[in-house]
């Protein structure tokens, strides 16, 4: 039998032969797939064991927490009682501090009053503003009184508001009004 090739020469060159695989060509890709599978399996097993260990640790901590719950409740209760006690002690300390303030104020004021000066009234607004009214025979005595108040650690910002002539029981007097600031934290001398 005679074979005749009817295909033109150019097309003959373009025709390709089928690819044939050998058994040795699949070894490298198969080994890579096997290695990747082993890495993935190892990671899964590692993560699973780590998750199991964490679950076990959580269970142990919860068991310890349940065992210590009475002590935790007692500590919380004691902390609350201590906070209430501290609040009460703070209120008592505040009351104790303010208890003697009026007595100290009057004592220091009595030390500052010079001879021949009489206080006829005093008014304390807020906790720090004090207004004093009185009579004397001379403006010099009023000036001496203001100087004494300024030197005292319990009084500050001493100002003369009014000083006017007046008559009291047929005598000429000076009626005055002085304002000052009380500094209760300063100890009296």
* Residue 11 pLDDT greater than 70, yes or no: no
Chain-wide mean pLDDT for the chain?
85
Instruction: For residues 170-179, give the mean pLDDT.
Output: 90
> Closest Cα to residue 177, out of 126, 95, 114, 122?
122
pLDDT band at 37 (very low <50, low <70, confident <90, very high): very high
Structure confidence by residue, pLDDT tens digits, 83-112: 999 999 998 888 877 777 778 888 888 999
Q: What is the mean pLDDT of residues 9-31?
A: 66
Q: Which residue has the tokens 């349940």?
A: 66
Which residues are within 8 A (CB) of 167 and not within 5 positions of it... i.e. 6 or more apart? 173
Out of 74-78, 126-130, 139-143, 170-174, least confident range: 126-130
In DSSP terms, 176 is beta-bridged to 134, 163
Residue 188 has pLDDT above 70, yes or no: no
Q: Is 173 exposed, middle or buried (0-12, 13-18, 19+ CB in 10 A)?
A: middle
pLDDT of residue 101: 78
**Residue 189 confidence (pLDDT):** 46
Those residues with Cβ within 8 angstroms of residue 139's Cβ, 6 or more apart along the chain or in another chain: 163, 174
Q: Specify the higher pLDDT residue, 71 or 23.
A: 71
Q: At what angle do helices 101-112 and 27-99 cross, to 10 degrees?
A: 50
Residue 10 has pLDDT above 90, yes or no: no
Question: Residue 89: its pLDDT value, please?
Answer: 93
Confidence of residue 49 (pLDDT cuts 50, 70, 90): very high
Angstrom distance (rounded) from CA 182 to CA 129: 6
Write down the pLDDT at residue 59: 94
Locus of tokens 């890495």: 39
- Give me the mean pLDDT over the 63-83 stretch: 92
pLDDT of res. 169:
85
* Burial state string for 121-140 with b = 16 or more CB within 10 A and e = fewer than 16: eeeeeeeeebebebbbeeee
Helix (H, G, I), strand (E, B) or coil at 68: helix
Q: Which fold has domain 101-182?
A: Gyrase A; domain 2 (3.30.1360)
The encoded tokens of residue 9 equal 């020469």
Whether 8 has a pLDDT exceeding 80, the answer reads: no
């Amino acid at each position: 039998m005679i074979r005749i090739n009817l295909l033109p020469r150019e097309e003959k060159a373009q025709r390709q032969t089928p690819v044939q695989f050998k058994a040795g060509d699949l070894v490298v890709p198969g080994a890579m797939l096997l290695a990747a599978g082993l890495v993935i399996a190892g990671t899964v097993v590692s993560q699973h064991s780590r998750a199991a260990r964490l679950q076990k640790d959580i269970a142990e901590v919860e068991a310890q927490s349940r065992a210590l719950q009475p002590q935790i409740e007692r500590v919380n209760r004691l902390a609350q009682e201590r906070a209430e006690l501290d609040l009460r002690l703070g209120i008592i300390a505040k009351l104790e501090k303010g208890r003697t303030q009026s007595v100290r104020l009057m004592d220091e004021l009595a030390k500052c009053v010079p001879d021949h000066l009489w206080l006829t009234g005093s008014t304390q607004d807020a906790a720090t503003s004090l207004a004093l009214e009185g009579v004397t025979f001379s403006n010099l005595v009023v000036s001496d009184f203001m100087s004494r108040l300024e030197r005292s650690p319990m009084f500050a910002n001493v100002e003369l508001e009014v000083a006017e002539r007046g008559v009291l029981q047929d005598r000429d007097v000076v009626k005055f009004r002085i304002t000052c600031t009380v500094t209760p934290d300063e100890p009296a001398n």
